[in-house]
Amino acid sequence: MTLSTRYAAGSLLSVRDLSVTDVSSVLELAARLEKMEAAERARILSGRTVALLFYESSTRTRTSFELAAKSLGATTTLVSDKSSSIEKGESLKDTGLTLRALGAECIILRHPASGAPFVLARETGLPVLNAGDGMHEHPSQALLDLRTILTRLHGTQAAAGVTADSLKGVTVVITGDILHSRVARSNALLLPRLGARVILCGPEKLLPQEAAELGPGVEIERDFDRALRQSQVAMMLRIQKERLAGLELDLGDYIERYQLNGERLAATAPKALVMHPGPMIRGLEIAGDVADGTQSAIEEQVAHGLRVRSALLVRALDGNI
Amino acid sequence: MSDILIFGGRLIDPANHIDAPRDLLLRDGHVAAVEAPGALRGATAAETIDATGMIVAPGLIDVHVHLREPGQTYKETIATGTRAAAAGGFTSVVAMPNTVPVNDTVAKLEWMLDAARDPAIKLFAMPAATVGSMGAELTDFDALRTAGAVGFTDDGKPVLEDHVMRAALVAAARAEVPVSQHAEDTRLTGGCSMNAGAVAFRLGLRGMTVEAESRIVERDLQLLRDIEKKEGLRPHLHVQHVSTARAMQAIRAAKQEGLHVTCEVAPHHFTLMDEAIGDYDTHAKMNPPLRVEADRAAMVAALVDGTADCIATDHAPHAAHEKEQEFERAPNGITGLETALGLALRVLHRGQGLSLSRIVSLMSTTPAEIIRVAGRGALGRGHFADIVIFDAGAEWHYDAKTTLSKSHNTPFDGAAMLGKVKATISEGRIVYRG
Ligand SMILES: [Zn+2]
């Protein structure tokens, strides 16, 4: 599925919009940006305006996009519900049109409603970068996760481009609250396209059976240990206690069955790469020592985020480099 | 009123078991004569319609439309909605009560049915089953029946409480009209905006389960059984816009058991599946939601085997700005009056081999029986001159911009249609020419 002409080129609403070639060129762009001198990088989007429209707070993603835009020399403007700069009751369409009228050339949107970026992109005609929409997707996160996996498993060189075989032989287990996770959806939809096998893991309430129908290359395994034994990458997801309460899930039981701790990791996947999109709850889905251990790539994920998001902005604004 | 002579057409009148060439003479708003071709040659008429190559049938009847008046006339009015209906070949429509305010009193019903609303065709109404459609206290069924109610419904939501639904069925049985139920257990569908399943999972939307529909249907059927046994009454339950194989199976079994249940299927439910939502196209958001292929196929099967009694559009106009929203925020519903016949002929007639006579039956004869209106849904002598003339073989594409409705919210913009309405006649007046 390719991006329909109803959306501006350079939009990234879902990982499904990206062909393998698109993914490859984003990674290649990220690699080139990384090698560049800071001063040179700051000229790429100089004089350009990017709006960050955040209906949901997210320190990590917002800061990452903001720093990426600034490092490229763009002017950023943040509109968030927290700063109450979003007009109460105004529609997403009208807010988008206002930002466009004020000169925004690209909008980065974080929104609690699944699909909101599609509305914004359709109605404004601007390139829109989905920075997380409801329970749907978080495509830039999947791309930064991909870059992290490639760098760790195959080296920096391999992370500067991909083919449909780049992750052949690699199994990634994604564990936790898959139902509510946009990170899980984006990764499960993206990684198999590059040859990976994705195992989704978690209890029925957080991982309904229909998740197996997400796409080819996606399977479900309820037994975490069995899943880990097959995996080269373990991607852990945050568990929000309030959600567990609503689903009548026993927290102790969850930790027992699904927490990634040192003992479990050593026994089942002593070499696997450990990832977490953050923010994590140490002692719940992941043990502190594992998060800080040598197998963990959690901090690198953040660094890759900056590069991948820079590349997405350059792509969205068709920057000259 | 001037006379109209329709000649050269193929009359399909299932109620009178006619599917043959016939000429018709309409006089004073009624059918004056139905004769073999040429037999009316001597008749003088102010207007003659050459229906050569066309189907002449009793005007279509839609037992489920939302006309938004009073209260939301920016979406639709009785005048615009009934003109759109006429363009779709309809000569009677039944307005649902979820207007603002809710149609729940004789005064409101009379206001709605007043000629001052300027309906292009015959307007019927089903007032609310409960006061304000709040689900607690029954409206005055007898008084409303006398004032013209053809049934009762809280459409848009179900009558949820068992004892209230039981009382509604009893009161409706005494008033000899159906209770028309929107079957959705709303305790199971909070925050849901589409069908539960793989597509909802991928889109990250909360889904309505099949059980949310079938549970209410099964509960209502149990009430029918119970009332027949204990009260000696025979209530008529009409299930609105059935969308799941499971609810349809329950209705099929209940019919075999002999309960008085009828049901309708909407064109979108026998045509589309939840995948049509694509990338959050709110024009594919309705309630009940588009389901999966097995459910769609079950709706088709039910229309073929007679379990489904009629086709109803659930015409639900909404303004553009309301649909240009986040999927979960956008209102449910699509327009449907101008696309119903074209979809029925394409999907059921051409696609499934359903006869034209059956299609007419599903869209005119049976709806008239469900709402128990005399003189409509058939074209015998003395019946109302409610007629649709259509070219059953015409292929065309629907263009939402050309709609006579005030709203454009349809997933069928640009969709292929089979069968084009050439004229619609309501009580002897030509109200639409295609
Ligand atoms: Zn309805």
Rg from Cα positions in chain B: 21
Query: Tens of pLDDT along B318-350?
Result: 999 999 999 999 999 999 999 999 999 999 999
End-to-end CA distance of chain B: 22
Q: Average model confidence (pLDDT) for chain A?
A: 94
Count Cβ atoms below 10 Å from residue A43 Cβ, excluding itself: 15
Q: Measured in angstroms, how far is the CA atom of residue B265 from the centroid of ligand 1?
A: 11
- pLDDT of A89: 84
Residue A16 phi, psi (nearest 5): -65, -20
Side-chain-side CA neighbours of residue A22 (13 Å): 21
Q: Would the CB atoms of A118 and B280 count as touching at under 8 Å?
A: yes
Q: Would the CB atoms of A137 and B204 count as touching at under 8 Å?
A: yes
Both tokens of A55, joined, read 């209906």
A55 interface with B at CB cutoff 8 Å:
no
Nearest alpha carbon to residue B48 among B1, B6, B10? B6
- A3 CB neighbours in chain B (<8 A) are none
Choose the closest CB to A115 out of B201, B324, B326.
B326
Angle, alpha carbons B184-B186-B188 (nearest 5°): 100
Q: If you measure CA to CA, which chain B residue comes closest to A90?
A: B325
3-state class (DSSP) for residue B207: strand
Q: Would the CB atoms of A115 and B279 count as touching at under 8 Å?
A: yes
B321 interface with A at CB cutoff 8 Å:
yes
Q: Would the CB atoms of A213 and B198 count as touching at under 8 Å?
A: yes
Both tokens of B150, joined, read 């053809």
Quote helix, strand, coil % in chain B, to nearest 5: 35, 25, 45
Query: Tens of pLDDT along A171-204?
Result: 999 999 999 999 999 999 999 999 999 999 999 9
DSSP B19-69: EEEEEEEEETTEEEEEESTTTTTT---SEEEE-TT-EEEEPEEEEEE---T
Q: Is B69 exposed, middle or buried (CB count within 10 Å of its CB: 0-12, 13-18, 19+)?
A: buried
Nearest alpha carbon to residue B226 among B141, B284, B169? B169
- B283 CB neighbours in chain A (<8 A) are none
Q: Which residues of B206-223 are buried (b: 16+ CB within 10 A; e: fewer)?
A: bbbbbebbbbbbbbbbeb
pLDDT grade, residue A5 (50/70/90)? low
Q: Would the CB atoms of A210 and B203 count as touching at under 8 Å?
A: no
Q: Would the CB atoms of B328 and A114 count as touching at under 8 Å?
A: yes
Q: If you measure CA to CA, which chain A residue comes closest to B322?
A: A91
Comparing B43 with A225, the larger pLDDT belongs to: A225
**Average pLDDT rounded to a whole number, residues A242-247:** 72
β-sheet bridge partners, residue B43: none
Give the C-alpha separation, A80 to A94, whole Å: 15
- pLDDT of B6: 98
> How many angstroms separate the CA of residue B207 from the nearest CA in chain A?
12
Nearest alpha carbon to residue A40 among A313, A321, A311? A321
- A213 CB neighbours in chain B (<8 A) are 198, 201-202
> How many angstroms separate the CA of residue B327 from the nearest CA in chain A?
7
Chain mean position to CA B159: 20
Count Cβ atoms below 10 Å from residue B27 Cβ, excluding itself: 17
Evaluate if residue A16 carries a pLDDT over 70.
yes
- pLDDT of A2: 43
Q: Would the CB atoms of A113 and B203 count as touching at under 8 Å?
A: no
- A211 CB neighbours in chain B (<8 A) are 201
B197 interface with A at CB cutoff 8 Å:
yes
Both tokens of A262, joined, read 């040192």
Residues 370-389 of B with CB under 8 A from A: none
Cα distances from A44 to residues A72, A274, A313, B342, in angstroms, run 6, 34, 10, 54
Q: Would the CB atoms of A111 and B326 count as touching at under 8 Å?
A: yes
- State the pTM of this model: 0.95
Angle, alpha carbons B32-B62-B74 (nearest 5°): 120
Query: Tens of pLDDT along A57-104?
Result: 889 999 999 999 999 999 999 999 877 778 788 999 999 999 999 999
Nearest alpha carbon to residue B122 among B97, B152, B148? B148
Helices (H), B232-365: 245-257, 267-271, 293-305, 320-323, 340-343, 356-360
> C-alpha dihedral over A258, A261, A264, A268, to 10 degrees?
90
Give the C-alpha separation, B113 to B109, whole Å: 6
The residues, ordered by sequence, that sit 6+ positions from B360 with a Cβ below 8 Å of its Cβ are B12, B13, B14, B55, B57, B58
Q: Of B314, B386, B391, B413, which is the active-site residue? A: B314
Asked about B314 being catalytic, the answer comes back as yes
- pLDDT of A3: 45
- pLDDT of B237: 98
Choose the closest CB to B204 out of A4, A92, A135.
A135
Rg from Cα positions in chain A: 19
Q: Is A137 left (phi over 0), alpha (psi -120 to 50) or beta?
A: beta
Choose the closest CB to B201 out of A92, A123, A208.
A208
- A116 CB neighbours in chain B (<8 A) are 326
- pLDDT of A248: 78
Query: Tens of pLDDT along A30-56?
Result: 999 999 999 999 999 999 999 999 999
Q: Sheet holding A218-220: strands in order across? A: A218-220, A197-201, A171-175, A233-236, A273-275
- A206 CB neighbours in chain B (<8 A) are none
Report which secondary-structure segment, H or E, holds B387. Answer: strand B387-397
Query: Tens of pLDDT along B133-158?
Result: 999 999 999 999 999 999 999 999 99
Q: If you measure CA to CA, which chain B residue comes closest to A187?
A: B202
Q: Would the CB atoms of A211 and B201 count as touching at under 8 Å?
A: yes
Give the C-alpha separation, B15 to B344, whole Å: 19
Residues of chain B with pLDDT under 70: 1
Q: Would the CB atoms of A210 and B326 count as touching at under 8 Å?
A: no
pLDDT grade, residue A6 (50/70/90)? confident
Count Cβ atoms below 10 Å from residue A302 Cβ, excluding itself: 16
- pLDDT of B44: 87
Q: If you measure CA to CA, which chain B residue comes closest to A95?
A: B325
- pLDDT of A4: 54
Both tokens of B309, joined, read 């009694």
Both tokens of B13, joined, read 């009148």
- B198 CB neighbours in chain A (<8 A) are 210, 213-214
- pLDDT of B114: 98
Q: Measured in angstroms, how far is the CA atom of residue B237 from the centroid of ligand 1?
A: 16
The residues, ordered by sequence, that sit 6+ positions from B128 with a Cβ below 8 Å of its Cβ are B97, B98, B102, B103, B104, B139, B152, B153, B154
A168 interface with B at CB cutoff 8 Å:
no
ipTM of the complex in this document: 0.95
